[in-house]
Structure 1
Amino acid sequence: MPCKKVTGKEIYSFCINSPYYEALLKHVKDKNSDVKKEEKCNILPTSMSSFNNENAKDICQNFKFLYKSFSTSSGGRTSKNDIFTDYDCDFLNYWLNEKLRENFSDDSNYVKEFYEQIKEQDGTVFSDHEELGNYIHVINLDIFENMKYLYDLYDNSRNILNMMRGQDYPEEKKTNKEKAIEVKASEENAIEENAIDENAIDENAIDEKENEKQKSCSDYTEDCSTKYKKAMDKCLNDNDDFYKALKDFKISYNIAVEQETQDLRNSKSSQYFHLPNYDPVLEKQRNIMAGKILSAPLIMSFVIPLLYKYTPFGPFFRAKAKIIKNRWINPDKNESELLILSTDNEDNISENGEYNIGYYSGTNL
């Protein structure tokens, strides 16, 4: 199917598939000797003259092989002409941005230019999916960082779930020494096929890898918890789409991981297993609301004197206040005024006709 154009929080939707994409990238890495066979990756546009040509060639070869891997992966997507899910084009653009971003810091559309250069050298490579070019562009740095957080969070959650179920990835079952040997063998094959000097292999790097610590389930949970909090902090700057995407991840993590019944690695004992109840956006909204409520009386204490002194309401309020004050001070005078008013009312009734009875005292029996 063709890729799907998305907006809003949907721009982060491809991150949900990060475990699949990571498996695909591992497939590309394991096929390094085949990757090196990719041709027509030797020419760079003149505007990229500062870009290391060997790095450009390596990125080009990996990108082309990665693209082709969508149709050959074990997932068995569909047919040669129907290899993409809705968000695969977004992932390819994300991957290309990640590889090229280190080499360019200007505002030019270097990602699109790099892609067009690949097409120019090899007119058939993307011929079955011309729409891919519509998705290739430079991703805004802030959005790119958001994508990186979500991509890693979904990948971590899958690793945690796999460990809980005892379904470790094959890579995790190997020792660092075995991994290093595989890397060395792969590099040696590439050297033989491309006539590169064998001294390019860094033996010291292999020894360093041997000393690396294997990641445990608690490592993944801690990393997940830390990145979730850092990602949430980024939402304080009006990052609504990213905030919604993070809330979706939290729901997904709760259902898929926290509610998982199997726990063969005792992952639930980790202090980081549950995502933190951390929502600085909600806390900020509460503080703003509390500030408005508390500031209302203070504002009124300033506004009322101003209204009293500088608006037409001032004389009106003062007159009313004076009347009320006088009534409290002179109650006898008020009583006589009320008596006069009462007599006047009775006279008016008499003049109009039917009634002429006045009550002045309770002793008139």
Structure 2
Amino acid sequence: MACTEETKKGDYGFFENFDYYNKKAEAADKTNKVEISLEPEAGKLVNDDYSLMNYWLNDKLRGTNSDLPMCVKNFYQKIKEINENYFKIVTLDNKLYNMKKNDLDNMRKLYDLYNIKEKVSASITEEMSTGKNASCLGNTKECYRKYKEAIISCRDDCLYFCSLIKEFKRKYKNDFSYYAKSTFSCKSEELFELPNYGVVLKEHEGVQVIRNGTLSVLLPVLGVFLMLKFSNKFTPFRQYILEKIKRKNILFDEGERENELFSYTYDDDSSIFNDGEYNISYYNVRNY
């Protein structure tokens, strides 16, 4: 049975409190279960809890596949049958659904960005306390690269996702610019200033134009190079074909010359008997 995919903006809700939910997700990766804190009223979750659980299940079930091997809600029903006492949150049944692959990919990119942001924060704290290099510069470069990849994939109907990328850009600068002079390897505020949306797209389009232009020049050159490189390998075969054609032409020419000789011989004989000086003819005499 095909799984129906849905789109809900609430999927991104837990990013507002990423530090807290990232620890939950890391614990879930280690134990293969999501620990969710409940509101005072037993058996009830907040929307961000639903968002994290739904994302985590979609991410693990789909993996790198383009299609879900099992519907998320069906999967939850199966594990609920194993231990009904543990899975007793009734409202969760209506909160789990199959995310569209494009939305899941965008969420993964945003999740990676916030995860790298956590690494930058940890490296800044370590460098400030130890005065030694703790990979702050390497983490900022990785964040810059991931940020550009997220913007490049932010097209068409991804306006909400784009707004979240811009929000990440604002948080990244505000949270780290103050500590730039206090770190060992990230002493420039520019390291925490991510480029604008339009700048990244313009740079990407320029690279694509150069790449396409280079290919349009290299492909014909490569074709000529390969032709020259492998021409020697085809030389014996080409010579064999040419010899065959040449031999056929020779035989054909010899046949034509023989016909011409026969024609000339017949004409000469006729001229001897008909136009000769003595015009001698004879009869074959048979004895009876």
Please indicate the TM-score interval, normalised by the length of the shorter structure: 0.5 to 0.7
Q: Is the 8 A contact 2:151 2:165 kept in 1?
A: yes
Instruction: Give the match for residue 15 of structure 1.
Output: 15
Q: What does 1:128-277 align with in structure 2 at a 5 Å threshold? A: 129-166=89-126, 216-260=135-179, 263-269=182-188, 272-277=191-196
Larger Rg: 2
Q: Helix, strand or coil for the counterpart of 2:157?
A: coil
**C-alpha distance in 2, partners of 1:97/1:90?**
11
Higher RCO, 1 or 2 (CA under 8 Å, sep at least 6)?
1
Name which of 56, 59, 70 aligns with 2:36: 70
Give 5+ residue unaligned stretches, structure 1.
1-5, 36-61, 72-76, 169-213, 285-365
Q: What's the offset of the Cα at 1:146?
A: 0.6
Q: Is the 8 A contact 1:89 1:135 kept in 2?
A: yes
- Shift of the 125–80 alpha-carbon distance from structure 1 to 2, 3 Å rule, reads farther
- Shift of the 233–277 alpha-carbon distance from structure 1 to 2, 3 Å rule, reads same
- Shift of the 82–106 alpha-carbon distance from structure 1 to 2, 3 Å rule, reads closer
Q: Helix, strand or coil for the counterpart of 1:147?
A: helix
- Shift of the 82–261 alpha-carbon distance from structure 1 to 2, 3 Å rule, reads farther
Q: After superposition, give the CA deviation of every residue in 1:171-196 in whole Å (9 maximum; x if it has no partner).
A: xxxxxxxxxxxxxxxxxxxxxxxxxx
User: What is the Cα-based RMSD across aligned positions, in Å?
Assistant: 3.5
Q: What's the offset of the Cα at 1:280?
A: 5.6
* 2:92 paired with 1:113: no
Q: What's the offset of the Cα at 1:217?
A: 1.6
TM-score by length of 2: 0.56
Q: What's the offset of the Cα at 1:240?
A: 0.8
Q: Which amino acid aligns with 1:230?
A: E
Q: Which amino acid aligns with 2:150?
A: A
Give the aligned length. Answer: 193
* 2:83 paired with 1:122: yes
Q: Helix, strand or coil for the counterpart of 1:70?
A: coil
**C-alpha distance in 2, partners of 1:260/1:85?**
34
Q: Is the 8 A contact 2:137 2:185 kept in 1?
A: no
- Shift of the 266–108 alpha-carbon distance from structure 1 to 2, 3 Å rule, reads closer
Q: Which amino acid aligns with 2:36?
A: F
Q: Which amino acid aligns with 2:114?
A: Y
**C-alpha distance in 1, partners of 2:126/2:157?**
40
Q: What's the offset of the Cα at 1:233?
A: 0.9
Give 5+ residue unaligned stretches, structure 2.
1-6, 204-288
* 2:239 paired with 1:279: no
Q: What's the offset of the Cα at 1:104?
A: 5.8
**C-alpha distance in 2, partners of 1:116/1:79?**
25
**C-alpha distance in 1, partners of 2:196/2:87?**
45
Q: What does 1:339-358 align with in structure 2 at a 5 Å threshold? A: none
**C-alpha distance in 1, partners of 2:11/2:63?**
22
Q: What's the offset of the Cα at 1:218?
A: 1.9
Q: What's the offset of the Cα at 1:226?
A: 0.8
Q: Is the 8 A contact 1:232 1:246 kept in 2?
A: yes
**C-alpha distance in 1, partners of 2:127/2:97?**
37
Q: Helix, strand or coil for the counterpart of 1:87?
A: helix
**C-alpha distance in 1, partners of 2:27/2:69?**
32
**C-alpha distance in 2, partners of 1:20/1:133?**
24
Q: Is the 8 A contact 2:11 2:55 kept in 1?
A: no
Q: Helix, strand or coil for the counterpart of 2:47?
A: coil
Q: After superposition, give the CA deviation of every residue in 1:214-262 in whole Å (9 maximum; x if it has no partner).
A: 9722222112111111111112333211111111111111211224467
Fraction of identical pairs, as percent: 31
Q: Is the 8 A contact 1:13 1:87 kept in 2?
A: yes
Q: Is the 8 A contact 2:73 2:96 kept in 1?
A: yes
Q: Which amino acid aligns with 2:48?
A: Y
